[in-house]
Amino acid sequence: MSDQQQNPDESEEFVPQWGSAAPKGGRAVLNRILREGNKVPLFLGQTFVQSLRDVGYNNTTSAICEHVDNSIQAGATEIRVYFNQAGPKGAHEVDVAILDNGPGMPPHVLQVAMSFGGSMYYENRSGIGRFGVGMKTAALAMGPVLEVYSWQERNTIYSMTLDVEEISSSRTNLIELPEPRLMDALPSQAATIFTKPMAYPKEEAQDLLAFNEDDLSERISKSGTLIFIPNCDRLSYKTARTLAEHATREMSRIYRRQLGDGLRLFINNRRIEAFDPTFWMQTARHVQIEGLQDTRSKLINSWPEIHIPVEENSKQVGTASVRLYMLPIESWYDLPRKTLANDLQLFSDQLVSFMRNGREVHIGVVPELSGRRHADAVWLRLQVDFAGDLDEAFGVAMNKQGVRPKKYALDIIREHIKDDVTRVREKTKEFRAAHTRTGQKSHLTEAEQVAQEADALQAKPLPSYAATTEEEQRALDQNLRTLALTLKRHDESDDDAFERIKKSRYLTMFKHDPYWPFYHVDFQLGKVILTVNTAHPFFTQLYEPLSRVAVQEDESDGDGGTPRGASAEGSDLLTGLQMLLLSLARTQSQMLSSEGSAEYRQLFENLRKEWSDSLKTQLQMTRR
């Protein structure tokens, strides 16, 4: 090695193949090292700081969360996030600022905090920070310059700047951080941000920190920290509006506990409220949604202490706690789709929420825990709480966004929760199945109506139960009332059910029984009663999906979405299927009331069982 260094001719082979955009300062240092044998630093600052810009935050919100994390950990009770959009439309610039009222940093701490790896909490697993990089990498992920201002008394502000351009062009081998600068006021650019409304949201919605600069020195807290990233070149959205909307949606959920405990968090001068995807917190936003009767999920079960080894096969264990909720499906199912989708975010795959030291690090579908993504899963929620000692088990990375749980950890949790999760999914399935039948309030289905009208044209009539005397009529009504009670839909009154049953010759019922054939026929008091089994694949794979298509299309009619043609097609198919079954029911009813019916009864019974089994076998084959 030393031979090579001493022989300039040989070192020619090791010419660096750097790209043209590579930092000049870094090139100079590297060449000096190669040619002159200079000492090699552990980190080549000029290049490394540029590479760190690509650490990979999912989006601007998760980068800003690093700063909010720091403010929270420092003990701030008010945090203001700003997306300051300025300049002409189409060519505007956005600055990002985060201001807190925490204790601030003394100058030497500020200096340490600016260095990569510099931290006051390094490897401390009980709080949010532990890696010593968040503030720097998150800022550089958004823009090339980070300015930090921190004060522990008014008008004594220390500031430091990290400027990627400047660092990259430095020609020294070892880049050192300068001393913090002492200032008696915040820079005017920052003062403007705090005193003028942002481009978004509407001015009336903004609660400014101060109305003018004189006011500002009073309003700004005695101690605090300001993170300022001017002229960001790498934001996930272009406008202040989308940036603020995304940050609001995410942070209201990510920091729900802190918000619930009173943290005042503003985004572009608008205070944000907690959003709880488990719908348990009664201080969360959903409680105020109009028309919401139930505001709280049902806690199905909780496992406060699930012991998980910190690494696979390790003897050292940490404790996770898990809670399983079922949303109030009975009272929410019929809410307008807009409320369900936008206000309650029900279809946003927010099934499993991972909370690390009280701060959400991930939310999503985790098939190992929640089961596969499916309409039956929409109504369940899992919340997994853990502390930093389980970071390895849950796969928490340096940027604290997302988890990548190890299989062994998921296996342990699943063992505890799986039966209850299945129960919730089953309950949802049953509810949804039952709800399909009650789609049309106290009305006959089209199929029931058509079947009845077509009776006049059928070759063989059904036996008539018409009463001839008043007394007979009373007795019949009495019997029909009793029958109505058993056929009552959940949204019908006794009288509604009686009226419906009295006027219809065809009735469809639903029943959920995994051990039962897919249909059943009964003929009582002159009524053809068809029962469809919602547990059979005939229902889950054909009837229910078809009725969903029909219902969806019906709904979209009102919105002016789908053209009427498509809607008619969906419900026509469903009606056709229902008539297939009603005609079967009619035929059986008719044959059973004719001569020789005793033989038929056994035959129909066998046919029903055999047909159901063979249909089940076939349908199950088509399932992936």
Minimum CB distance to ligand ATP smaller for 70 or for 504? 70
Q: Is 135 in the site for ligand ATP (CB under 6 A)?
A: yes
Give me the least distance between CB of 392 and ligand ATP, in Å please.
15
* Residue 180 binding ligand ATP, by CB under 6 A: no
Q: Binds 120, which of ligand ATP, Mg ion, none (CB < 5 to 8 A, cut-off by type)?
A: ligand ATP
Stretch of 133-141, 233-241, 401-409, 419-427 contacting ligand ATP, by CB under 6 A: 133-141
Output helix, strand, coil percentages for the chain, rounded to the nearest 5.
45, 15, 35
Residue 132 interaction partner, one of Mg ion, ligand ATP, none, beta carbon < 5-8 Å per kind: ligand ATP
Please count the residues of this chain forming the interface with Mg ion, following the rule CB under 5 A. 3
Question: Does residue 119 belong to the site contacting ligand ATP (CB under 6 A)?
Answer: yes
Query: Residue 368 and residue 373: Cα distance in Å, rounded?
Result: 11
Please give the Cα distance from 49 to 162 (Å, whole number).
10
Select from 46, 60, 85, 100 the one that contacts ligand ATP (CB under 6 A): 100
Q: How far is the CB of 26 from Mg ion (least distance, A)?
A: 27
Residue sitting closest to Mg ion (CB):
134
| Lookup result for tokens 């709080």 | 127
Phi, psi of 107 (to 5 degrees): -55, -40
70 touches Mg ion (CB under 5 A)? yes
* 129 binds ligand ATP, rule: CB under 6 A: yes
Peptide bond into 201 cis (omega under 30): yes
Q: Is 147 helix (H, G, I), strand (E, B) or coil?
A: strand
Q: Is 388 in the site for Mg ion (CB under 5 A)?
A: no
Note whether 80 binds ligand ATP by CB under 6 A. no
The single-letter code of the amino acid at 83 is F
| Distance, C-alpha 401 to centroid of its chain | 14
Contacts of 277 (CB under 8 A, 6+ apart): 253, 345, 350, 353, 363, 381
Q: Give the per-residue contact string, 202-231, with ligand ATP (x = CB under 6 A; - = no).
A: -----------------------x------
CA angle 507, 513, 519 (to 5 degrees): 40
Q: CA 404, CA 391: separation in Å to the nearest integer? A: 10
Residue with Cβ nearer Mg ion (129 or 318): 129
Residues near ligand ATP (CB under 6 A), total: 21
Interface segment toward ligand ATP; rule CB under 6 A; list 19-27, 97-105, 265-273, 480-488: 97-105
Q: Which is nearer to ligand ATP, 253 or 359 (CB)?
A: 359
Rounded to the nearest whole angstrom, what is the least distance from the CB of residue 120 to ligand ATP in the complex?
A: 3
CA distance linking residue 397 with residue 399, whole number of Å = 6
List the one residue out of 54, 53, 58 whose CA is nearest residue 402: 58
Pairing state of beta strands 264-267 and 224-229?
Answer: unpaired
Sheet containing strand 519-524, edge to edge, reads 506-511, 527-533, 519-524
- Residue 306 half-sphere exposure, CB side, CA atoms within 13 Å? 24
Q: How far apart are CB 104 and ligand ATP at their closest, in Å?
A: 6
Based on the shown chain and the rule CB under 5 A, indicate whether residue 137 belongs to the binding site for Mg ion: no
Among 25, 102, 104, 129, binds Mg ion (CB under 5 A): 129
> Considering the complex, what minimum distance in angstroms separates the CB of residue 389 from ligand ATP?
15
Which of 505, 552, 504, 512 has its CA nearest to residue 531?
512
Among 104, 134, 180, 230, binds Mg ion (CB under 5 A): 134
d(CA 270, CA 285): 14
Question: Which contiguous run of DSSP H or E holds residue 331?
Answer: helix 329-332
Which position among 63, 97, 133, 284 is part of the footprint of ligand ATP (CB under 6 A)? 133
CB of 128 to Mg ion, least distance (A): 7
Give yes or no for residue 132 binding ligand ATP (CB under 6 A): yes
Question: 266 has which bridge partners?
Answer: 80, 271
Q: Out of 130, 362, 429, 536, name the contact with ligand ATP by CB under 6 A.
A: 130
131 binds ligand ATP (CB under 6 A): yes
Q: Find, among 112, 111, 108, 105, the residue nearest to 224 by Cα.
A: 105
> Which of the choices Mg ion, ligand ATP, none does residue 133 contact, using the CB cut-off of 5 to 8 A by kind?
ligand ATP
421 binds ligand ATP (CB under 6 A): no
CA distances from 131 to 85, 140, 330, 386 (A): 31, 16, 46, 18
The strand pairing partners of 356, in sequence order, are 359, 386
Kindly list the residues in this chain that would bind ligand ATP in the complex (CB under 6 A).
Answer: 66, 70-71, 74, 100, 102, 105, 113, 118-121, 129-136, 225
